[in-house]
Structure 1
Amino acid sequence: MATSMIVAGLGLAVVGFGTRYVLRTMPTLGKKMAEAVSNMPKLDGKALTNSKYYKGGFEPKMTKREAALVLNVTPNASQQRVRAAYKKMMLMNHPDRGGSPYISSKLSEAKDLLDK
């Protein structure tokens, strides 16, 4: 009985000191959170227009320009460079590795178009 009373007392002490610690750190934590939120970049139209990614979706019929954009090569790139870019992109986007079947089909379509 005495040991259970000691354990209960120690438990209450731990809860009390823990609560005291949390209550003392809350004001500084709140300030740090407010500072972090104010330092976050804004998602306005200007930030999105300076993005390095291509704006827009796929065209209904793939053009040579779009195929070059998809594979990240020039439109008149050599067959060897096109195949190397295709292989690199397919390793990252293959459906068996969690990639999208649609993206992998677009990559194949782009390679076929530029290989000609």
Structure 2
Amino acid sequence: MESPMVIGAAVAAAAMGGRYFLTAWQAFRTRPEVPLLRRFYHGGFEKVMSRREAALILGVRERAVMDKIKEAHRRVMMANHPGRRGQPLSCIQDQ
């Protein structure tokens, strides 16, 4: 007696799950392509750089720890290095 009801509920759940999966997949495929590197602050720069603007450029909080600031600075410098496009980075040593 209960088996047709259980089978019907399982089919309905599978159908709703499949519908959710298909809509999520379509949204995933149509999303804008994001480059592998993080997007950095491009700007309207001020005449004198403030702490806020420096934090926006580096992608950290204004009150970040010095280690995070140094790592963010290194990441920005590596991303903007002129030798980054297929040439060896012999002048930059990994620390």
Please give the TM-score of this superposition, normalised by the length of structure 1: 0.36
Which has a greater percent of helix? 1
Q: When the two structures are superposed, what TM-score results if normalisation uses the length of structure 2?
A: 0.41
- Structure with larger Rg: 1
